[in-house]
Structure 1
Amino acid sequence: MRSPFHLVEKSPWPFLCSISVVCVAVGLVEWMSGGSLHLLVFSWLLLVMVLCQWLRDVVRESDQGWHTSYVASNIRFGMVLFILSEFFFFFSFFWAFFSCSLVPDVEVGGVWPPVGIMPLNVFSIPLLGSAVLLGSGVTATWCHHAVMSGNREEAIYGLVMTIFLGFYFTFLQVLEYTGCTFTIADSVYGSLFYVMTGFHGVHVIVGSVMLLVGLFRLVNHGFSSVRHLGLEVSIWYWHFVDVVWIFLYLCVYWWGGGV
């Protein structure tokens, strides 16, 4: 009798993914310190290759029927725990932000934003980015409901729009960084601003890639109204990214920017 549980085979992808992520971090620091781009480019290529192979194996397991109802339930629970860990990850940054902003030290002039810092206009690119990201949450929900109702064509439209808005938000964030008058080295405000928004941007890119994989499977009839686990957890993650941005916009841009 076949067991409802699935024990995955030994895989090199988690180890190689960890190595490539460390190389990306080291390459990024080297490039920002005035070094070459060779390590950063190589490590990014290695990371993309590893992720493609890893996702291929996961999709293959699903297509072979290994993701039974028991396995799917555990995957959903694992995704909930992962999102919870990401919540505490960002919570630590918000804790540091309010610790510095509510009682500013004399080193920053005793005021917030610190003396010499010119915050971004909250009603310009940040507001547009907020509208774009919240709109992507609406289209992601549209896609999810379309999949559950068996409307594949509408689901594809909704997912394409979500991915487009996600990459457009990333473009707006890059545009925002180029227009900043302060850097990551400009007091605690610059450090917190770039770390918080930068990590959120990384999460947006990761979520966009997850949705791209879901789009590929959706176009190739990889999902049905009752079996769409990969797309479902990707949309959960995307909604988490939306919620984090709402707090970032209200706390860092609006309140923290001295509006």
Structure 2
Amino acid sequence: MAQTTHDADIYFVPKYSPWPLVGSIGLFIMVIGVANWFNEVSWGKPLFYVGVAVMIGMFWGWFGTVIRESVSGVYSRQVDGSFRMGMIWFIFSEVMFFGAFFGALFYARSLSVPWIGGEGDGVATQAFLWSGYEAAWPTNGPAQVGGEFQTMSAWGLPLVNTLLLLASGVTLTIAHHALKAGQRGKLLLWLGATVLLGATFLFFQVEEYIHAYRDLNLTLGSGIYGSTFFMLTGFHGVHVTLGTIMLIVIWFRVLKGHFTADNHFGFEAVAWYWHFVDVVWLLLFLFVYVL
């Protein structure tokens, strides 16, 4: 039974929730769908969209449940502490997630490609399997997988997107200070600016992908460079999309007066996530586009 006390020693125990199960089913459907879509199975694409619809419904329902619990006053300081620890561990898992992909980029670029090119113990491999292959980055591999391609310049749209995300971090910080000062109008203005900057980033990333496929022949099939490029930038784009959606939810919650200067962890959690996304992009811009 739900507790309705603010006593820090009493922990709120929610009722049984269907949303974790719904989310697991949605993710399973999405993975099956996208795997078959990429393998050109006819029902893969529609199945993927079914999974997306299930996930949207799950987020809508789960967010709504937690928001209703929060505004009803059932969360104690102990619950607030557990939420903070949960968000910290979640962001840590995201650090490991992107760390694995940056590790794949490092391995391919600094170890695997030089080895195939004949460095170190790769002399025999280069002589008997890939004679004449010259190790260089970027590369689509000795077999020229996907044909010739051009790389994306760091000083065009990627630089613009870097400035957009840096600016969004500033606007979000201003909004946070406005929240703690009790200035709701200013808070709504700068939080809305953050949402707009995030949406603009996504728009330019779509434009970048169109340019890559149409003009540069840089695709997911362009060997190891193409796969690592789209893997890192694509997953980051997914995170920006989720962050933008969460910021929109927070904007409407601010509009309805859900937060106070002393009680606004929902805002803080999204701010942590957004600043993490900013840092990942800076690393991505440096190691994928510039170097």
2:82 to 69, 74, 89: 74
1:112 counterpart letter in structure 2: W
Q: How does 1:18-167 map to 2 (within 5 A)?
A: 18-34=24-40, 35-36=42-43, 37-103=45-111, 104=113, 105-106=116-117, 109-114=134-139, 116-167=148-199
The residue number in structure 1 matching 2:237 is 201
2:11 to 5, 17, 39: 5
Which has the larger Rg?
2
Q: Deviations over 1:69-128 (max 9, x none)?
A: 111111111101110111011111111111111232336741111164411011011111
Q: Which moved more, 1:168-177 or 1:242-251?
A: 168-177
Q: TM-score, normalised by structure 2?
A: 0.83
Q: How does 1:239-250 map to 2 (within 5 A)?
A: 239-250=275-286
Query: How many Å separate the matches in 2 of 1:206 and 1:117?
Result: 31
Query: How many Å separate the matches in 2 of 1:118 and 1:177?
Result: 13
Query: How many Å separate the matches in 1 of 2:277 and 2:200?
Result: 15
Query: How many Å separate the matches in 2 of 1:27 and 1:132?
Result: 33
Query: How many Å separate the matches in 2 of 1:78 and 1:204?
Result: 20
Query: How many Å separate the matches in 1 of 2:152 and 2:285?
Result: 11
RMSD value, Cα: 1.6
Q: TM-score, normalised by structure 1?
A: 0.93
The residue number in structure 1 matching 2:145 is none
Q: Which moved more, 1:101-110 or 1:119-128?
A: 101-110
Q: Which moved more, 1:190-199 or 1:102-111?
A: 102-111
1:197 counterpart letter in structure 2: T
In structure 2, runs of 5+ residues without a counterpart are 118-129, 141-147
2:245 counterpart letter in structure 1: V
Query: How many Å separate the matches in 1 of 2:205 and 2:34?
Result: 18
Query: How many Å separate the matches in 1 of 2:245 and 2:81?
Result: 23
The residue number in structure 1 matching 2:144 is none
In structure 1, runs of 5+ residues without a counterpart are none
> How far apart are 1:28 and its partner, in Å?
2.5
Residue 179 of structure 1 aligns to a residue in which SS? Answer: helix
1:221 to 247, 257, 260: 257
2:95 counterpart letter in structure 1: F
Q: Deviations over 1:171-199 (max 9, x none)?
A: 11111111112111211111111111111
Percent identity between the two aligned chains = 36
Query: How many Å separate the matches in 2 of 1:202 and 1:213?
Result: 17
Q: Deviations over 1:175-225 (max 9, x none)?
A: 111111211121111111111111111111111111111111100011111
2:63 counterpart letter in structure 1: L
Query: How many Å separate the matches in 2 of 1:46 and 1:133?
Result: 30
2:57 counterpart letter in structure 1: M
Query: How many Å separate the matches in 2 of 1:96 and 1:66?
Result: 45
Q: Which moved more, 1:47-56 or 1:22-31?
A: 22-31
Q: Deviations over 1:132-175 (max 9, x none)?
A: 11111111111111101111111101111111111111111111
The residue number in structure 2 matching 1:190 is 226
